Structure 1
Amino acid sequence: MEGESSFSAVAPPVFDGENYQMWAIRMETYLEALDLWEAVEEDYEVPPLLANPTLAQIKAQKEKKNQKIKGKSLPICSSKEIWDYLKGEFAGDERIRGMKVLNLIRDFELQKMKESESVKEYSDRLLSIANKVRLLGSVFIDSRIVEKLLVTVPEKFEATITTLENTKDLSKISLTELLNVLQAQEQRRSMRQEWVIEGALPVKHQDNSKYKKKKNFKKEGGSKKSYQPCRHCEKKGHPPYKCWRRPDAKCSKCNQLGYEVVTCKVKS
C-alpha cells in the first residue's frame, strides 16, 4: 500500500491531442500500477452483497467500490465512455491505422545507412519506425530489423557480416548481438584511423625539420655569398681549391697547366 500511495502521487500522463498511441500506453501502465485499469476498461457495476456475506466477500466488494471511486476521480478518463471516445477520435478506425502501418513499413523498406552515419544513428532510425508500427497495434519483430541491417549497411562492414555467416546462424542472431558486433568493428576502424593520423604527424614533422635544416644550411654555409673572391679567378661561389684556373690544374685536352678542360680554348 505504501508503494501504491507513493506512485499515486505521480501525476498521470497528460494528453495534448498528439501521439495518442504513446499516451494510451503510458496511461494504461499508470492505471495498472494503481490497480484501476480494470475499472476503466470494463466499467463494471459493483453487485450488492448477498445475505450473510463472508469477510472475504465484504472485502472484495469494498475493493471494487474503491477502484470505481478512484477511477472516476481521474480527470482524463473517468469512465469507459470517455476512454472509448478518445480512442475512436484520435486512434482512428482500423482502415486508417492500416494505412498508417503500410506507410511506415514502406518507409522502413526504403531506409539505407549513409556512409557518414554511425551504426547507432541508423539503428535508432529503424527502431523509431518499428516502434511507431507497434504503437498502431501491429506486430513488428526484431528479426526484421536484423535482416534490414544485414543487407543495407555499407560495404565496409562486409567482412564482419561474412564472419558472422561463417560462425553463427543469422536467422537466430538477436538485434542486440548484431548491433554490438557492428559497433565493435566501427570503433576498431575509428581507432585505426586515429593511429594512422597520429603516426603521420611525427613523420611529417621530421620531414619538415630536415627541409628546414637543409634550407638553413644553404643560407648559412652553402650560398655563393659565403665564399670570399677566389684568388685565382677573383670570382665568388667556390673555394680556391675547386677553381678551374688554379695553377696546378691540368687540361685533359691539351695537357697544359693553369686551367681545366671546361675552360680550354684549344679546338678539338
Structure 2
Amino acid sequence: MALVPHGGGAGGSAMPLFCPILTRDNYTVWAIKVEANLDVQGVWEAVVPEDSTVAVDPEKNKRARAYLLGALSEDILLQVSSKKMAAAIWECLKARFVGADRVKAARLSTLRGEFDRLIMADGEELDIYAGKIGCMAAKFASLGGTLSDAQMVKKLLDTVPDSLFAAVAGIEQFCDVETICFDDVLGRLKAFQERTERRKAAVGGERRGDQLLLTAAQWEARRRQRGGGHDHDDDDDGSSVASGAKGRRGKCWNCGVRGHFSRDCRQPRKEKALLADVEDHPCLL
C-alpha cells in the first residue's frame, strides 16, 4: 500500500494518504477508500462529474487518473492504462468487478443467501460479528441494493447466543425494533454482556441452587455430627456399639423400624436413602 502526499492548499502542510491496491477480491472496500481519498484531494468530480455537461478540469483529471493507476495491481493496470480520462478508468473497473445488471442481480441473490445463513459462532466476539453484518450492508450498497437497519437489527437479535437472550427480550419488549438504530442495539447488548461477565467474576462463577439430595457419605456425616447414628461400628474386641451413644438402639436403615440394626434386618435389602426423613427433618417438606 503506497502513500500519496496530499497538499493541504496554499501554505498548508502535506497529509499522506494511504493508496489501497485493487485486487480481484477487494473491490467494494477499495472503491470506498479511493472515493474518500479522491474527495479529500478535491478531484473526485473528475471521476464522477456532478454535471455531465460541464467539461472536466484537465489538471484534476490528471491527478485523479494518476491516483487510480497507482492503486491498481500490474495485471489490472495494463488493461486500463490506455484510457486518458479518470472517469473512463473508473467506469471500466466498475463494469468489470460489479458487472452488468444481470450479473448484479445474481450477485445480490447470492449475497442475500449469505446474509440469511450468517450466524454468530460459539465464542465469537460481539464486535466481530456485528462487523460482519456491517460488511454485508456495504456489499449490498456496492451492488445497488440496500440492507436496512431493521434487517440488520433483526439478524443480530435472532442469531446472538442464548447468554444474551435476556437482553434481546428486553430490547424487543421496550424498543421498536423497526426503527431502532443498529448501533444502539449493539451498544445495549455489549453493556448487558459486560455486566453479566462482571457479575460472574464477582460471585466466582454461576450460582447454583440449594441441593436437597445428599450423597450417602454426606448424609452419614450429618447424622454422626448430630449424634443420631442409626448403625453400629465394631470395636476391636468384636463388641458392637451404636454410632452415637453405646447401648442406644437406633432405626434400621433397611426397613425403617427401630429396635435393631440394618445388618440384623430380615427384610429384603434396599438401597440407602439419600433424602432426609420427613420425621427427623420436617423443614425439608
- Which residue of the other structure, out of 84, 96, 111, is the alignment partner of 1:104? 111
User: How far 1:96 moved relative to its partner?
Assistant: 1.5
- Which residue of the other structure, out of 140, 143, 152, is the alignment partner of 1:136? 143
**1:3 matched to which residue of 2?**
8
Amino acid at match of 1:138: G
User: How far 1:108 moved relative to its partner?
Assistant: 1.1
Structure 1 distance, partners of 2:157, 2:192, is 14
Structure 1 distance, partners of 2:163, 2:205, is 22
- SS of residue in 1 equivalent to 2:48: helix
* Equivalences, count: 192
- Which residue of the other structure, out of 93, 98, 101, is the alignment partner of 2:100? 93
Change beyond 3 A, Cα 1:17–1:163: closer
User: How far 1:65 moved relative to its partner?
Assistant: 4.2
Report sequence identity in percent. Answer: 26
Structure 1 distance, partners of 2:117, 2:200, is 31
Following superposition, which runs of at least 4 residues in structure 1 exceed 6 angstroms of deviation? 43-47
User: How far 1:11 moved relative to its partner?
Assistant: 5.6
Please say if residues 8 and 34 of structure 1, whose CA atoms lie closer than 8 Å, have aligned partners that are also in contact. Answer: no
Change beyond 3 A, Cα 1:7–1:107: farther
Cα deviation code 1:181-212 (max 9, x no counterpart): 21222122222332343799xxxxxxxxxxxx
Is 1:183 the equivalent of 2:176?
A: no
Cα deviation code 1:42-78 (max 9, x no counterpart): 497987xxxxxxxxxxxxxxx9343244345446175
Is 1:66 the equivalent of 2:93?
A: no
CA RMSD of superposed structures (Å):
3.8
**1:155 matched to which residue of 2?**
162
Structure 1 distance, partners of 2:65, 2:159, is 51
Structure 1 distance, partners of 2:161, 2:205, is 26
- Which residue of the other structure, out of 143, 165, 169, is the alignment partner of 2:172? 165
Change beyond 3 A, Cα 1:6–1:13: farther
- Which residue of the other structure, out of 114, 120, 123, is the alignment partner of 1:113? 120
Change beyond 3 A, Cα 1:153–1:90: closer
- The 5 Å alignment of 1:1-268 reads 3-4=8-9, 6=13, 10=17, 12-42=19-49, 64-74=57-67, 76=69, 78-79=84-85, 80-197=87-204
Structure 2 distance, partners of 1:153, 1:8, is 42
Higher helix share: 1
Structure 2 unaligned regions, length at least 5 = 1-5, 70-82, 208-234, 241-285
User: How far 1:144 moved relative to its partner?
Assistant: 0.9
Q: Which moved more, 1:113-122 or 1:18-27?
A: 113-122
Structure 2 distance, partners of 1:75, 1:123, is 31
Amino acid at match of 1:70: R
User: How far 1:115 moved relative to its partner?
Assistant: 4.4
Amino acid at match of 1:98: A
- SS of residue in 2 equivalent to 1:185: helix
Cα deviation code 1:56-108 (max 9, x no counterpart): xxxxxxx9343244345446175133322222222222221221221121111
Structure 1 distance, partners of 2:67, 2:132, is 36
- SS of residue in 2 equivalent to 1:92: coil
Change beyond 3 A, Cα 1:189–1:101: same
Structure 2 distance, partners of 1:75, 1:90, is 15
Structure 1 unaligned regions, length at least 5 = 48-62, 201-235, 245-268
- SS of residue in 1 equivalent to 2:178: coil
Q: TM-score, normalised by structure 1?
A: 0.57
Amino acid at match of 2:46: A
Structure 1 distance, partners of 2:147, 2:206, is 47
Structure 2 distance, partners of 1:39, 1:193, is 57
Structure 2 distance, partners of 1:166, 1:153, is 17
